[in-house]
Structure formats: C-alpha cells, structure tokens
Amino acid sequence: MRPRCCLAIGRLNTRQLLTESLIFAVLGGGAGLLLALWGVPLLVALQPGDIPRIEEVAVDRQALLFMALVSLLAGLAVGVAPAVVSSQVDLARSINNGGRSATGGPGKTRLRGLLVVSQVAVTLVLLVGAGLMMRTFVALRGIDPGFDPDSVVTMSVSLAGSPHAAPQRRAGFFQELVQRVEAVPGVVSVSAINHLPLAGDTWHLPYAVAGRPDPAPGEEPRAVYRVVLPGYFETMRIPVVRGRDVSARDTLGAPDIVVVNEQLAGTQWPGEDPIGKRIQLGESWLSVVGMVKDTRQEQWAAAPEGEMYIPFLQSEDYLATLPESRLYLTLVVRTSVDPAATVPAIERVIRSHDAQVTLSEIQTMRRVVDQANARPRFYLVLLAAFAGLALTLAFIGIYGVMSYSVSQRTQEIGIRMALGARRADVLRLVLRQTLVTTAAGIAIGLAASLALVHLMASLVYGVSPVDPLTFAAVAGLLAAVAFAATYVPARRATRVDPMVSLRSE
C-alpha cells in the first residue's frame, strides 16, 4: 500500500499539472481569438465571390462558446496524461534514484515522442496541401488567356427601354457610340461583343460544315457563338492568325462571313487552310474569312472550345428579332492611361448619346482575369495560413520537447562526457533522437497525405495530386525545421560540465 503522504503529494501534483495546463489553454485560446478577429475579415475580403453567404462569416457568440469549449477540452486533455503518469510515480523509488524517474521515465519519453510524431504528421499533411495549391496557382497564372487584359475597361450597354432599341436604329446606335467613345481622351480603340470572355454568358449553337454528310439529330457539332463589332480583335489584342478581321463592310447586304478560332478550324479542317470554307448556322451559309487565336471562354482552366465570331452588322438576330430585354452589347475600351480613370468620361459620352440606356458590369479586364483565378488563390491563402501556423507550432513544440529532454538528461550526458565522450558524440546523440522521431512523423504524414490528396484532385491544375517534387520538398522542409529546432538544445548539451552535472544530482 502506498503511504498517505505519497498519495497526497500525487494528488497535489495532479492538481498542479491540470491547473497549469488550463491556464496555458486559456492563454492559447485568447491568442487564437485575437488571431481570428484579425484573420476572419481578411479571409472574407480575399474570398472569390462565389461562395454562398461567406460575407456572413464572423466571430460571433457561438464561435466564442465553441472556442472556449475547445480550449477547455484541450487544456484537460493535455493536463490529464502527464497527471496520470505523475500520479503513478513510486515516490520512494524516485527519491532513491535521485529524482530521475519522476521526470524522465519511459512513459513520459514515449508521450513526448508521440506528441512530436503527431505534430510533424499533421504539419506535413497541411504543407502538402499548401504546396499543391501553390504549384496549381503558379500553373494557372502561366495560362495565356489569348488576349491582353491590361489597359482595358468593359461595360455592358443595354437598350431595353430605349428608343434606340427599335430594329431600324440598333446598328446606327452602336456604330455612333463607338465613334463617340473613341474621341474620349486616353482611349486607343473601342469595340463591342455580345458576351465577354470569362465574364459573360456562353451560348453554344449547332452548325454544319459544307461538303459533310448531315449529322444525326442531336449530334451536330456546336460552337461558342459570339457577335462582335469591327475592331474587336484589335482592341482585345487577339491575334488574327490567318485571313482578316471583321470590318465595317460586313453588313446585311454583303456576303455572310464568319471568323473562327484555331480550335474550331483544327477540329473541322485539320491540316487545311480554313479560309474560304463554309459553315451553316441556322438557315444561313457563312464563309470563313479569318482565323484567330484561341481565348479562354467560360472557365480559366478549361480547354478552349470551338468558337465563331459573327459580325454584329450582319446578325439578323441582334438587328431585328432579338427582344429588347436581351438587346445588349459589352463595350470594350482599350486606353493609354489607367482604364478605370476613363470610366466617368465614357459614361458621360454614353449618357449624352442616349440617357435611357442601362450601364452595368463596369470592370477592367485585368479584374476579370484576377476573378477567374480568385478561387484557387483563396484556397492557397487558406491552406498556406494553416500550414504556416502548423509549421510554427511544430518548431516551437520540437524545440520545447528537446530542451526539456536535454535538461532531464544532464546527468547522463555528464557521465558520458566524463567517460570520454566528445562534444560531437553528444551532439549526434541528441540530434539522432529528434531526427528518428521526426522521420517517423514524416513517414506517417506522407502516408496520410497519399490517402487524402485524392480529395484535392478537382482543385489542382497542371500538377499531379501525388506530385513527388511537392512531397519531397515538404519532407525536406520539415526535416530542416526539426533540425533547426533541435540544434540549439543539442549545442547546449555539448557544453555540459561533467563535474557540475554529477554534483547537481
């Protein structure tokens, strides 16, 4: 039976450990609260714009209660384990052994090792996710949109409710509007399109190719349908690979023409010159007069589809049959100055031309491109923030564990040095302990990452979810962090004076 004094001391030690862990949990929860109050508004500001109700995310009463509960449970969990170990210490044996077993027994050693392994494993999983998203973001930023988004401002001009919506006035309105906007100081060129790439609707229409058998119903090839004013490709700086651009001569009285993109031409006439080929759209046969470079259409990372550009001045849909509610074009303006600075002057010109038109979706093309990359950028920031925090905690945790371990092994190290061990031997001894533990954590983290990365398959682009370079870089980074966190306590261990350490015990 254990003496009552031992039981009393054990209970006192347990209460002390629990009290200390709860105090640290409260302090950690307070620090986390401050971080949340600063970080949540930042994350909401960086959100891509298509996450439902994200603007409602805030640190409210429920979040505070949850944080307090988690902090309390964490404090209890962290305090109970060492308290249980301490309560089971044989005080008499501990005194006889100079106090070493009370603090440096195998139970506590295993517990410290388990904490380091789990911390390294979790950190590696987060770092792998952040690494994959970083490589994805770099790959997405390297995509060529097919046009030059800089120095371009766009705005949707709707004729709904305007007298210019009358069929006989539609063509004249947009032609004169382009001329008026071109006269605004700082404007280089102006044109318009029905649906802006990456920021507008995408219509897919069926078509037929001259000289080909009629396809079965429902199996007709389809292409993205664009309606443009003259000068659109010049304004957007979309290269005309072959043939010519849409011109002011392409009107209802002229032969019907179409400009196609490289994807459509390569699909329908591989290895051939598409100029002069004919396609049927509805009841009309159109002659291909130009081929332009592929552009990003609906999604930034999606491969371009076949695309056809119809002259607005030849489009009976827009000039006659399209209802007023759907009669709009997006004005595209390239400037020699800051494009946003020209918006007020452009708006005044449009209002002076027709005060009843509706202007909307005023934005720069650079913002359109940035918005197309907003979701992967948001995921990158989110994962990088958690991974960076986990890496910092791992460094602090490894450093703390190793500092404590070295302090508990002072007598052992002193004896080793008294028996002839060199400083380099002691340094290797301490470093080996951490590196073995870190290697175990890295191995577990790599296995967990391989099991979980398939969940990110839909988020990554231009890189495999099991990219070996990312996994190797993350493992190397964690090993370097563990080495850095261990090196200072290890160096301190080499400076132990054997005589002093032996007398202190």
What are the tens digits of pLDDT across the range 146-165? 999 999 999 999 998 888 88
Q: Is residue 334 part of a domain?
A: yes
pLDDT digit string, tens, across residues 242-272: 999 999 999 988 999 999 999 999 999 999 9
Provide the whole-model pTM: 0.73
* Same-domain status, 208 and 335: yes
Identify which has the larger pLDDT, 418 or 378: 378
* Residues 27 and 125 reside in one and the same domain: no
Packed helices 374-408 and 468-494: angle between N→C axes, nearest 10 degrees: 30
Pair 167, 218: CB distance under 8 Å: no
Is residue 352 located within the same domain as residue 370?
Answer: no
* pLDDT tens, position by position, 83-119: 665 555 554 444 444 444 444 555 566 767 787 888 8
pLDDT in the model for residue 102 = 41
| Pair 288, 166 in one domain | yes
If asked whether residues 87 and 166 sit together in one domain, one would say no
Domain tally, the chain: 3
- DSSP secondary structure letter of residue 192: E
Residues 383 and 484 in one domain: yes
Residue the block writes with tokens 């930023």: 141
> Which domain, by its residues, includes 376?
105-145+366-505
Same domain, 322 and 248: yes
With bands split at pLDDT 50, 70 and 90, how would you rate the model's confidence at 230?
very high
Is pLDDT of 145 > 70?
Answer: yes
429 with 348, same domain?
no
- Are 183 and 323 part of one and the same domain? yes
Query: Is residue 150 assigned to a domain?
Result: no
Whether 472 is covered by a domain: the verdict is yes
| Residue 153 is assigned to a structural domain of this protein | no
| Alpha carbons 350 and 310: distance in angstroms, whole number | 24
Q: For 457-485, what is the mean pLDDT?
A: 88
Q: Is residue 245 part of a domain?
A: yes
% of the chain with per-residue pLDDT over 70: 86
Q: Which residue has the higher pLDDT, 113 or 439?
A: 439
Residue 85's pLDDT is what? 58
Evaluate whether residue 154 is within a structural domain: no
Task: Determine, yes or no, domain membership for 155.
Answer: no
- 76 with 109, same domain? no
Judged by average pLDDT, the poorest of 28-42, 172-186, 187-201, 348-362 is 28-42
Q: Are residues 372 and 465 in the same domain?
A: yes
- Answer yes or no: is pLDDT of 73 > 50: yes
At a CB cut-off of 8 Å and minimum separation 6, what does 181 contact? 187, 190, 331, 333, 346, 349, 350
- Residue 29 or 315, more confident: 315
Lowest-confidence region among 179-188, 213-222, 424-433:
424-433
Could you tell me if residue 311 is inside a domain? yes
Determine the Cα angle at 354 with ends 351 and 358, to 5°: 70
d(CA 487, CA 244) in angstroms, rounded, equals: 68
Does residue 9 surpass a pLDDT of 70?
A: no
Of the residues 30, 64, 99, which one is the last residue of a structural domain?
Answer: 99
* pLDDT, tens only, 351-370: 999 899 999 999 999 999 98
222 by DSSP, 3-state: which? strand
- The residue out of 309, 334, 356 marking a domain boundary is 356
Q: What is the pLDDT of residues 318-349, one digit of tens each?
A: 888 888 778 889 999 999 999 999 999 999 99
Do 171 and 130 belong to one domain? no
